[in-house]
Amino acid sequence: MKKNAGNIDRGIRVVVGFALIASAVAGVFAPWGYIGVVPVLTGLFGFCPAYTLLGMNTCPMEKKSE
């Protein structure tokens, strides 16, 4: 898996993911808020399968090596 998510993208994913999980724990979006696990994981690993399907890449280091 080559990284395809840049640092800003990854940070936003982690913040939004934890916000969704927190809202699920608080009962606001339960149980749908637990979908926040997906952006947290993609943010931590730096790889987004949807970006691969769409041919996107926000990681500047990977763009230089192509």
Instruction: Identify the pLDDT of residue 2.
Output: 87
Q: Give per-residue pLDDT as tens, 11-66.
A: 999 999 999 999 999 998 888 899 999 999 999 999 999 998 999 898 887 555 55
Instruction: Identify the pLDDT of residue 31.
Output: 87
CA pair distance 30, 26, nearest whole angstrom:
8
Instruction: Identify the pLDDT of residue 64.
Output: 53
